[in-house]
Structure 1
C-alpha cells in the first residue's frame, strides 16, 4: 500500500562534506516512523507547477530507532532544481512534504551469504542504515564488505562511524577507495570500487549478495563485471541515482 503524503519538519542540518549536507527530519503526526533499512522517501518540493516534476527521492541514511525522526544525506547538484532548493531555501524549522517509506532495496531475511555493499558518494546512505541495524539488533550474518568509492578522503561520508563499526560487527570490513586523492597520501587505497570486489572474489565465485547504490555508470559497470564473473540478476540488487 502506498504511504500517504505527510509533513516533515527539519530539526537539524549538518555539513557532511564540501557540497553534501545531512538533513534530520521529524514527522510530528507519528510517534514512530516505521521503515526498513534501505528504503527511501520522496520529497515534493515547490520547484515546478507539475507535481511529478517536483518529486525527488532520497535513501534514508539512518536506521529505524523507535523515534519519529529520520536522516537524509544529500549532495548539491550543479543546476539541480531540487538540491538547490534544499540547500538555499530549507533551514531548521522548514516543513517538507514527503511520502514514504518506499522501495524494496532491503536486506534479505536471512544473511546466509557474504554481503557486498558497493557504492559511490551519497549511495552509502542505505548501507549505513543497514549496518546500524545489523549492529543494533546483533543480526547473525556472514562477512560484510562495504566498498565505498569517492574522489577524495574529505568526501568519505560517515568515515569515522563506518570505520568504528568494524569493532562492533564481526566479519565486517570497511574498504574505501579514492580516485583523486594526492599521491602523497600513502595511507589510503586509490582507484575505483571494481578492483576491490574482483580481488575479494578472485575468480572463485563465492556465494554472495551484491548491493549496488550510486551513479548509473558505476552500477552499469559493476553489474556487467559481476555477470562476467558468473553472478546472476538474483545475486545483484540495485538502487540507481541519476
Structure 2
C-alpha cells in the first residue's frame, strides 16, 4: 500500500510505501527535504504534521519530545505514513539537482592533526568528481554493511581530494582502523554527498558559526567557500573544545581573521589545563556565543558538533530570539549504528 504525501507550502506531492519513512520516500523521488543524521538523533528533519497519522515503531525517536508531538511536530526521518499526509517542511532547492553517488576511492594522505584527530584525504577515480555543497557529508561504507558519516572539510572549489577530519572514538569500527593499521593507498567505498547542512547564500543576515570538536570540519568548508566567492556578510566562528591541544587547526581561523575584516574567531575551552595558560573564553561554547550576541533575532546560526551541544544550544538560542528557520545544524552522533 502507498500513501500520498503533500508538502506545504509548495504543494508538491509524492508517494510513500508502507515500509519506508517519509524522508526516504521524498529523497527517492527527488525532493530535497532537510535531514542530518537520518537516525532520529539530531532533529534536522523536524517538521509539522498538518493532516494524517504517522508511526515511529516501538520507541519514540530521541530528537522528538512529547512537547514536539503536542505541538503537531513530526520527525520525518523516522516517521512512517499510516494514512495520506499533509506536512509542512522546508524544501532545500539548492540540493535538488546534486546526484548522490556510490564510488570507490583511495586514501592518499593520513596526517595526525593532534592526539585524537586525523586528517584524511580521499582521491576518486580519474573519471569522477563529487559535486557537493559546502557543509555536506559522505558515508564511508564498511565491508560488513555498516557506514560511518564524515563531513567534507574542503570547499567545493577544492575538490581534487575529499578532506575528512576523523576523530578517534574508543572502540570505533572505522576510526580504529584509521588510527591503527590503515595505510595510504588503501581502497574504500563512499556514498555522497548527503545532508542539507550548507551555507544559505541568499540571506542578507550576519552569520554566526559554532563548532564543537570536529564540528569544525563542515564549518571550515563553509568559510572557505564564503571567502572564495566573496561573500561579504559579517561572519563569526566560535569553536569549543576541552583543552588547548584539542584546537587542532587553530592557526587557520586565526589566519582568516587576519586576512578578512568581516570575519572574527573565538576559541572556547571548557576544561583548560594548567599548562595551557589560557586567557581566552572558557565554559560552554554556546554560552560564550550568547555572551557576545544576547539577541539572536537578526542572525543566521550554523552549528556542528556532538548531540548534547546541539540540544543545549538549540534551546538557549531559541530563548535568545533566534527564529527556527534561521538555525541550521549538523549533529555528530558517535554512537553505534
| TM-score normalised by structure 2 residue count | 0.66
Which runs of no fewer than 5 residues in structure 2 stay unpaired? 1-29, 31-98
Matched, 1:122 2:214: yes
- Give the aligned partner of residue 136 of structure 2: 39
- Give the aligned partner of residue 303 of structure 2: 212
- 1:30/1:67 Cα in 2 relative to 1: closer, same or farther (>3 Å)? farther
Q: Which structure would you say has the larger RCO, counting Cα contacts within 8 Å and 6 or more residues apart?
A: 1
Matched, 1:155 2:246: yes
Please list, as runs of the form range in 1=range in 2, the aligned pairs for 1:82-231 lying within 5 A after superposition: 82-141=174-233, 143-183=234-274, 185-202=277-294, 204-231=295-322
Task: Please report how far the alpha carbon of residue 227 of structure 1 lies from its aligned counterpart in structure 2 after TM superposition.
Answer: 1.4
Among 108, 115, 120, the residue aligned to 1:11: 108
Among 138, 147, 150, the residue aligned to 1:55: 147
Query: Contact 1:9 / 1:27 at 8 angstroms: preserved in 2?
Result: yes
Query: Contact 2:297 / 2:322 at 8 angstroms: preserved in 1?
Result: no
Partners in 1 of 2:134 and 2:263 — Cα distance? 17
Which runs of no fewer than 5 residues in structure 1 stay unpaired? none
Task: Please report how far the alpha carbon of residue 199 of structure 1 lies from its aligned counterpart in structure 2 after TM superposition.
Answer: 1.4
Larger radius of gyration: 2
Task: Please report how far the alpha carbon of residue 28 of structure 1 lies from its aligned counterpart in structure 2 after TM superposition.
Answer: 1.6
Task: Please report how far the alpha carbon of residue 82 of structure 1 lies from its aligned counterpart in structure 2 after TM superposition.
Answer: 2.2
Task: Please report how far the alpha carbon of residue 31 of structure 1 lies from its aligned counterpart in structure 2 after TM superposition.
Answer: 5.2
| Aligned residue pair count | 235
Aligned-pair Cα RMSD in Å: 1.7
Partners in 2 of 1:234 and 1:58 — Cα distance? 25
Q: What CA deviation, in whole Å up to 9, does each residue of 1:84-104 have, x standing for no partner?
A: 123223210001100111111
Partners in 1 of 2:136 and 2:180 — Cα distance? 26
Matched, 1:81 2:173: yes
SS of match in other structure, 1:21: strand
| TM-score normalised by structure 1 residue count | 0.91
